[in-house]
Amino acid sequence: MAMTHTRCPQRHHLHFQFSNVTFFIFGPLMMFLMYPYAQKRSRCIYITWILFMVIGLFSMYFHMTLSLLGQLLDEIAILWLLASSYSIWMPRCYFPTFLGENRPRFTCLVLITTVVSTFLSFLRPVINAYALNSIAVHILYIVFQEYKKTNNEELRHIMEVSVVLWAFALTSWISDRVLCSFWQWINFFYLHSIWHVLISITFPYGMVTMALVDARYEMPGHTLKVRYWPRDTWPVGLPYVEVSDDKNC
């Protein structure tokens, strides 16, 4: 992923390409694991995973060429991924007041804003990284608000893990930029690769978090259960949701 216009110079770029492999593994796998959920909620969810893989592709292109075009394509793909996630999972209670709770209107507003932002990114590309992380902070605010509302331990746990992963990813990105001289001094050139891997893991956790939050508002007749691939009993795994009808509804 980009967010790297002034990142610390790297000695080798091969490890960047390997760090992007997770995008091409997790993308198709999550599309498969989340298939039952997508059929119940919205098939537009597939768009988010396609964009997730596009980010990996553009990130590889950027790190092979180190071109401004590569950086812009990478960051624009991230922007559209966030926009599609907003459109699908943003709880209606957080919509702007003038939209009421009308999701199609909200989606149109997000679409227009994203198109305008896409054109503006070509004019002032240096602010893209900070703008994208600002959006992430807004998502973090929503997660915090929903965390206070729920007593569901499963939802609270997935929220906590998502925030911790995002914090570690952001720390590695900031450290790569701010402490460049130090990392060069100790001959450690892999922080940006660590950012790639961590953020590619963070998104599946974030998606499951938003799916669980969204279900409280949009899927009252269904119960969502968090599962982990490859096994629920393993200490680490890729989260997804299993949907079942609420027989008490």
Q: Specify binding-site residues for Zn(2+).
A: 63, 192, 196
Residues annotated in a binding site: 63, 192, 196
Q: Distance (Å, rounded) from C-alpha 247 to C-alpha 189?
A: 54
C-alpha neighbours within 13 Å on the C-beta side of residue 223? 9
Spatial CA neighbour of 15 closest among 60, 66, 58? 60
- Which residues, including other chains, have CB under 8 Å from residue 1's CB and lie 6 or more apart? 55, 59, 74, 78, 195, 196, 199
10 Å CB burial of residue 57 (0-12, 13-18, 19+) is middle
Q: Could you give the CA distance from residue 241 to residue 130 in angstroms, rounded to a whole number? A: 31
Task: Residue 123: count other Cβ atoms within 10 Å of its Cβ.
Answer: 7
